[in-house]
């Protein structure tokens, strides 16, 4: 069972120790990273867990639906028009 932080005594955060199995090569890399960064191994592990959980909680990016008009395989007849002609087409001669 995972040991989770416990809040008590006016909001101070207490942590509990736990044991996890980590592949030897991964642990060695994490220790080297901690040593180079000057931070405890525990901080490296906690940061990794935070990143995984944050990525899981991140919403998927919104994609605009394709609401294109016309057929993309054919030329757009409006592209060949001058601006005054295009304006007349849009406003029907009213300004």
> Higher pLDDT residue, 90 or 45?
45
**pLDDT given for residue 27 in this prediction:** 95
Distances (CA, A) of 58 to 45, 54, 55, 62: 20, 6, 5, 12
> Higher pLDDT residue, 52 or 58?
52
> Does the structure show a pLDDT above 60 at 2?
no
Beta bridge partners of 13: 7
SS3 13: strand
**pLDDT given for residue 92 in this prediction:** 82
Asked whether residue 35 is assigned to any structural domain, the reply reads yes
Q: 42, 2, 6, 5: which is closest to 18 by C-alpha?
A: 2
**pLDDT given for residue 5 in this prediction:** 57
Asked whether residue 39 is assigned to any structural domain, the reply reads yes
Asked whether residue 48 is assigned to any structural domain, the reply reads yes
User: What's the pTM value of the predicted model, to 2 decimals?
Assistant: 0.48
Q: Which domain holds residue 35?
A: 24-58
Asked whether residue 47 is assigned to any structural domain, the reply reads yes
Q: What are phi and psi of 49, to 5 degrees?
A: -65, -45
Number of domains in the chain: 1
DSSP state of 12: E
Asked whether residue 38 is assigned to any structural domain, the reply reads yes
Asked whether residue 51 is assigned to any structural domain, the reply reads yes
Asked whether residue 12 is assigned to any structural domain, the reply reads no
Asked whether residue 84 is assigned to any structural domain, the reply reads no
* Cα Rg of the chain, angstroms: 30
Distance of alpha carbon 36 from alpha carbon 30, whole angstroms: 10
């Amino acid at each position: 069972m995972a040991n989770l932080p416990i809040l008590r005594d006016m909001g101070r955060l207490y942590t509990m120790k736990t044991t996890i199995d980590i592949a030897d090569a991964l642990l060695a890399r994490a220790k080297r990273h901690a040593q180079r960064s000057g931070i405890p191994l525990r901080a490296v592990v906690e940061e990794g867990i935070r990143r995984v959980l944050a990525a899981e909680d991140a919403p998927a990016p919104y994609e605009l639906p394709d609401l294109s008009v016309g057929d993309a395989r054919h030329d757009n007849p409006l592209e060949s028009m001058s601006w005054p002609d295009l304006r007349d087409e849009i406003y029907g001669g009213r300004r």
